[in-house]
Amino acid sequence: MSALRLSKLHGAGNDFLVWNVVRFSHGAWTDEVEVFAMKLAATLCDRHRGIGADGLIAVLPGRDGADCTMRLHNADGSRAEMSGNGIRCLAWVANRAGLGDGKRLTVDTAAGRRDVELELDGDGDVTAATVDMGPVTFEPAEIPLDAPSPFGLEATFHGVTYEGDAAGIGNPHFVLFVDDPATARVTQHGPRLEHDDRFPNATNVEFVAVAAPSELTLRVWERGVGETLSCGTGVCAAAAVAQRRGLVDNQVAVHVPGGEHRVELGETVRLHGPVVHVFDTDVEL
């Protein structure tokens, strides 16, 4: 193998490189391939010396009724369980490759099986999608969180005290309520909060403000990446935390620096958002 075909896409500014490896090594994802993918992600996601992206997604064969499997590495090469924006980017590539029925895609992820409803343009390309993200959990062991309760957690840095709740939606989140996300010290305090000792697997951190009963604004510090323009799982976690506190209804528009998502809260969380194909490229190895 001397070259890789990669597609760059983004969902509300949260950008990914998607690698269709359904046929790679006859579908076998060995330890050797895992090490290669970690290095590939860290190299190609670098915004100064690589292509630039928030993560690398590998599209693997599906089993037991799934159309495909998503394997996600953050920009630093570390593994991530799930991405609400990333799975929509995967859906664009999978649909172009003829996976699924053109209307719906069933994807296995490290956080469980997810169903994706596709919206197509006149050329048959995916322009947006709605993802059943599964339920949000507040059980400490499931998040995971090393604390007796996920509610009313505090953290103080440089004289600033944050308060919020922990939640899990396949990956961990620390949802903090602030007066204005635009002026929150996301890049200064995000790295410290990401590695809060109460989160054994580290955590994503959302800085959230309630704009109306049907509207949130947020910025996010993503585990293993840094500040991103959007985070699909973070949007869902923030909406679920705000609803549990009685601050929003069960249908919420969430504004992020990269755009807007729509979240529907019920037994599971449904996330709707755009997907944009940027370009395809061949990377020589």
Tell me, yes or no, whether 123 lies in a domain.
yes
7-49 tens-digit pLDDT: 999 999 999 999 998 755 455 778 888 898 999 999 999 999 9
State how many domains the chain has: 2
Same domain, 15 and 104: yes
Query: Can you give the three-state secondary structure of 220-277, one letter per residue?
Result: EEECCCEEECCCHHHHHHHHHHHHHCCCCCCEEEEEECCEEEEEEECCCEEEEEECEE
Q: Quick check: pTM over 0.85?
A: yes
The secondary structure element, H or E, covering residue 186 is helix 186-194
Determine the pLDDT at residue 226. 96
User: Is the alpha carbon torsion for 113, 109, 142, 189 positive or negative?
Assistant: negative
Tell me, yes or no, whether 146 lies in a domain.
no
The secondary structure element, H or E, covering residue 139 is none
Per residue of the chain (285 residues), what is the pLDDT tens digit? 568 899 999 999 999 999 998 755 455 778 888 898 999 999 999 999 999 999 999 999 999 999 999 999 999 999 999 999 999 999 999 999 999 999 999 999 999 999 999 999 999 999 999 999 999 999 999 999 999 999 999 999 999 999 999 999 999 999 999 999 999 999 999 999 999 999 999 999 999 999 999 999 999 999 999 999 999 999 999 999 999 999 999 999 999 999 999 999 999 999 999 999 999 999 987
* Contact residues for 47 (Cβ-Cβ < 8 A; gap 6+): none
Same domain, 164 and 120: no
Same domain, 83 and 195: no
Same domain, 122 and 7: yes
Tell me, yes or no, whether 81 lies in a domain.
yes
Please state, rounded to an integer, the average pLDDT across all residues of the chain: 95
Same domain, 104 and 221: no
Tell me, yes or no, whether 211 lies in a domain.
yes
CATH code for the domain in which residue 255 is found: 3.10.310.10
| Separation CA 261–CA 252 (nearest Å) | 8
Domain housing 186: 153-267
Same domain, 158 and 233: yes
Could you tell me which of 29, 3, 14, 4 has the C-alpha nearest to residue 89?
14
Tell me, yes or no, whether 278 lies in a domain.
no
Same domain, 168 and 121: no
Q: Which residue has the tokens 């500040």?
A: 227
| Separation CA 208–CA 115 (nearest Å) | 27
